[in-house]
Structure 1
Amino acid sequence: MSDLPGETAVQYSNFDFAIRFSHFHLGERGRRIVLDSPSAAGRLLFTRPGWVTCLTGARTRSINLAVGVYAGQPLDVVDQFEDVVESSYESLHGELSVLNWAEALVGSLGKLPAGPGFYRVRYHLRDTGHANLVTTALLQVWPAEDSPSAELKITSSTGSFWHPDRQRSTLGE
């Protein structure tokens, strides 16, 4: 994913790993923090304090994931992907790691630029429904005020499955 912006990131990491059960996670300090709080299940991206779950296509067997951690809002690369969603995320410890479907550590992203507090997570997906079984994804993380989740672009069959309201609204346009 060398064509994606990483030069303005505080940290930019690439991970290739296996996917099972169509998801992976971001977690604080490399482990799950269990809290009783609402989550937006049934979407491509949902968050809880200290925890993020990212869904992939049902056929995805491996993922090429790039993660950029930024001090401010990153460059917009929405047009390079099929599906793009974003949500607020509350970091409890100011450290973040990528975890696989079984919650095993894939890699550490280290300390977040603003420490504990609210961040925005933008999740980009490409090739989610194709037969090649590999998904390309980009996660952008930056400090931001808590705000509602947003569907920036939904065009694939996977995105339409997890965001059916968005699909219905674009069919009539």
Structure 2
Amino acid sequence: MPLAGYALAHSQWDLILLATAASLASNIGSIPAYWVGARGGRPMVERYGSYLLLSRHDLDRVDRFFVKFGSFAVLIGRMLPIVRTFIAFPAGVAKMNQVRFHVYTFIGSWPWCYALAYVGMRLGASWNTNPEFKEIFHRFHLGVEAVIVILFVVFVKSHWKNRIRTSEPA
């Protein structure tokens, strides 16, 4: 989105159109994950969840959370990095109303898309020529990568013993 904002946005109206198009694309892109979740549901996750180190406890927590905050979870989830990529699948598993899912996906994606395009538009030509920006971006990028690696290690350590078993040992 920042590159699109840099290349395509030259006014406020351009940013609005760009964010709208990207939000519609986000909706279209979420359809397969939603339908895999809706068709396979919890039985599919219980059967194959061990490959993702998911426990039944995790599934129960997600179910309770989605029953309580389903629409709001999609709305907020679409505004959060990483979560926005995966929120369609649990929405499908929870069999959230598809029209409501797409409305909340659009509303939640739009500010994210707008903000990223705005950053690209504001950076303009300094995107490639400002060494100070490159240093700040590089440090931010490394920080995000470190947080992702740490969270992944914590997740694996805490879930390895509790993963779902697809067959009982003999």
- TM-score tier by shorter-chain length is under 0.3
Which structure is larger by alpha-carbon Rg, 1 or 2? 2
Q: Greater helix percent: which structure?
A: 2
Which structure would you say has the larger RCO, counting Cα contacts within 8 Å and 6 or more residues apart?
2
